[in-house]
């Protein structure tokens, strides 16, 4: 009788504990949906060395559009390539003539602006880029600046930012090259960037945007390192990491140069 009762109880206990000892089921998340058109790109170089004789450089950005299906019927395909230097804060000041003297009368602080920013496009920017995409991705030059720092004391900030862009355009640090991207058969593309000699070192970022009818289809991003090398790098590290030794070395060089100049002058006389 007891054995007859134990067997049903044992079976019920095993059924109750079965979910506890069952192997856990692995949850597989669905794969992200890839766009029908994807960017495959490369750089001619991913690092630039700044030496004492550095007078600029050139970077070639090239690639292709990979498709897993026939190309859409729309012909409005465009490619935009940007190259952005390290970000940093800056202050834009306006000068006015007061009592015959030029003085700073107003200023606007920008929290973060690229030290270098170039945009190359396969067509006019206003025709190939939706303004909403521009705001989201910060592609055009005016939108490359992130935000203002501190309270804004002027009624209109637009003249300040436009002046800053004009100054950096004259310096070769900001540029828009319409038609700078060559697009072949809606598949292959390339863009050449001429970098000026007044680059600062740091991490540069290149972005490639693939657009169709003004809307973003795919984007690609890669980094470029710009660093001082050789004697330039040694002097830079010495000045920032061992400032006292750098000062003594500069003083010694000045004394030696003065003594040598005096010796040459006496010899000439």
- pLDDT tens digits, one per residue of 215-265: 999 999 999 998 876 555 555 555 656 676 657 777 777 877 778 777 777
7 three-class SS: helix
pLDDT digits (tens, 9 = 90+) for 22-79: 333 333 334 345 668 899 999 998 888 877 777 778 899 999 999 888 887 767 899 9
Average pLDDT over residues 185-199: 91
Whether the CB-CB separation of 73 and 49 falls below 8 Å is answered with: no
pLDDT at 235: 57
Distance (Å, whole) CA 49 – CA 16: 70
- 120: β partners: 81, 177
Task: Specify the pTM.
Answer: 0.71
Residue 110: name the closest of 59, 162, 186 by CA: 162
Tell me what pLDDT residue 18 has.
40
Contact 38, 65 (CB under 8 A): yes
């Amino acid at each position: 009788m007891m054995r007859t009762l134990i067997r049903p109880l044992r079976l019920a206990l095993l059924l109750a504990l079965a979910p506890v000892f069952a192997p856990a089921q692995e949850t597989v998340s669905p794969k992200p949906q890839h766009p029908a058109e994807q960017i495959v790109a490369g750089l001619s170089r991913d690092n630039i060395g700044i030496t004492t004789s550095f007078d600029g450089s050139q970077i070639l950005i090239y690639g292709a559009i990979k498709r897993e299906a026939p190309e859409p019927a729309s012909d409005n395909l465009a490619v935009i390539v940007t190259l952005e230097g390290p970000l940093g804060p800056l202050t834009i000041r306006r000068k006015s003539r007061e009592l015959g003297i030029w003085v700073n009368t107003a200023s606007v602080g920008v929290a973060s602006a690229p030290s270098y920013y170039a945009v190359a496009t396969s067509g006019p920017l206003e025709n190939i880029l939706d303004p909403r995409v521009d705001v989201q991705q910060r592609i055009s030059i005016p939108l490359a600046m992130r935000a203002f720092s501190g309270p804004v004391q002027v009624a209109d900030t637009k003249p300040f930012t436009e002046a800053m862009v004009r100054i950096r355009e004259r310096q070769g640090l900001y540029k828009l090259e319409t038609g700078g991207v060559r697009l072949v058969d809606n598949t292959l593309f390339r863009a050449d960037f001429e970098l000026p000699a007044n680059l600062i070192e740091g991490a540069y970022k290149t972005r490639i945007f693939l657009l169709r009818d003004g809307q973003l289809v795919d984007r690609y991003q890669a980094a470029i390192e710009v660093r001082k090398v050789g004697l330039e790098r040694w002097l830079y590290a010495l000045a920032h990491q061992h400032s006292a030794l750098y000062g003594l070395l500069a003083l010694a060089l000045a004394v030696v140069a003065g003594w040598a100049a005096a010796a040459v002058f006496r010899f000439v006389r």
